[in-house]
Structures are given as C-alpha cells and as structure tokens.
Amino acid sequence: MAAYVALLRAVNVSGTGKLPMAALRAACEAAGLERVSTYIASGNIVFSSPQTAATVKTLIAGLLHERFGLTKNHVLVRTPEKLAQAIAANPFADAAATRPNLLMLTFLDGPAAEGAAQRLADHRGPERLHLDGEHLYIDYAEGVARSKLTPAFLDRALQVPATARNWNTANTLLGMVRALEA
C-alpha cells in the first residue's frame, strides 16, 4: 500500500472551484482510496492506495469532474519520497526559517517547457525564484499580495500545470503522508 499527497489546483480560491473537504474525503473513500484526510480547504488530500500515482491522479481528476462538476482543476500527485526531496532541495533556507508563509513550493505536473528558466529570470520583481525539475521555489520576501508575479505569469512562463503551497503547508503535508507509512 503506497501513501500519496494529491494537490488540487484552483480549489476554493476567490470563490471559484468550491469544494467542501468533507464531501471530497467521502468521495475519495467511496472510490477506494484509504485512510483519506484533507488539510485546509485549498485542496490537499493525503491517502493510501495500492494503485499507482498515475492511476490515483486520474481517479481524483474524474471525481472532481463527475461528482463535483469541476472542470478547470488539475490534480498533481506526490509520493512521500518526492515531497521530501522537494523540501530538502529548498534553495532558500533563510526564508524557510524566517518567513515560511511567504516561501512557496510550486509543484509542476512534469518538467517546465523549454525556455521557462529564462522567462522566469526575465521577471524583474523583488522575489527570488529557483526552478528545479518539477518544482519552483519562490521567496515572496515583500509579500504575495503586492507581487506582480501572478499565477498568469507563472502559467505563461512554465507552460505546464502547477499549483503552489506555502512552506508551512508543504511540511505539514509531508508529516501527514509520512504518518501513513508508519
């Protein structure tokens, strides 16, 4: 039995993608996922399943569409090992220690498009960015709300579906998924 974290994009954000977490948990359990829990209302599911990551990703995407009528959402899945590796690779340890709510770990659904690193480097804001495989680290040192580094800019730069979690949330999810392995 494998443990997974599913990260849903565009759930309960600015009045769009409304999805009650209790209903999501129930739907996941009814679909055969085990030991299902959610964390905050932004679309984080921790669960175990004998199925592959690709299979559970497809299953959850189907639930979002068929059961909840959500069609603009994307599902990304990480194993505990992949999540732990992403956290360990953080290039901004100072931000993690002093402002973890302003450090974002962005999960990409595959490698970024060719030229993404240069498009990100062309951004002229105060944020620090580091693209590393299927993860983008962003230190919003002056705050997310004032940043001109918008989700639309990131979508154009990366050209692959992505969703971000702050440092605190990423670490909480790692603790939750590791507990399923015990």
Angle between helices 21-30 and 53-66 (to 10 degrees): 120
- Same domain as 154, residue 120: yes
- Same domain as 73, residue 40: yes
Tens digit of each residue's pLDDT (9 = 90 or more) over 76-102: 999 999 999 999 999 999 999 999 999
Q: Domain residues for 13?
A: 2-78
Residue 15's pLDDT is what? 56
Residue 144's pLDDT is what? 87
Report the domain count for the chain: 2
> Is it the case that residue 72 has pLDDT exceeding 80?
no
CB 6 within 8 A of CB 55: no
Tens digit of each residue's pLDDT (9 = 90 or more) over 127-167: 999 999 999 999 999 998 888 888 889 999 999 999 999 99
16 in a structural domain: yes
**Angle at alpha carbon of residue 19, lines to 17 and 23, rounded to 5°:** 160
Last residue of a domain, one of 43, 78, 113: 78
Tens digit of each residue's pLDDT (9 = 90 or more) over 16-69: 567 888 999 999 999 999 999 999 988 899 999 999 999 999 999 999 999 988
| Overall pTM > 0.85 | yes
- Same domain as 160, residue 91: yes
> Is it the case that residue 11 has pLDDT exceeding 80?
no
pLDDT class of 179 with cuts at 50, 70, 90: very high
- φ/ψ (deg, to 5) at 79: -80, 165
CATH of the domain at 109: 3.30.70
Last residue of a domain, one of 78, 99, 115: 78
Residue 182's pLDDT is what? 74
177 in a structural domain: no
- Same domain as 58, residue 33: yes
- Same domain as 14, residue 73: yes
Last residue of a domain, one of 54, 78, 102: 78
Alpha helices in 38-166 (DSSP H): 53-66, 80-88, 93-98, 116-121, 151-158
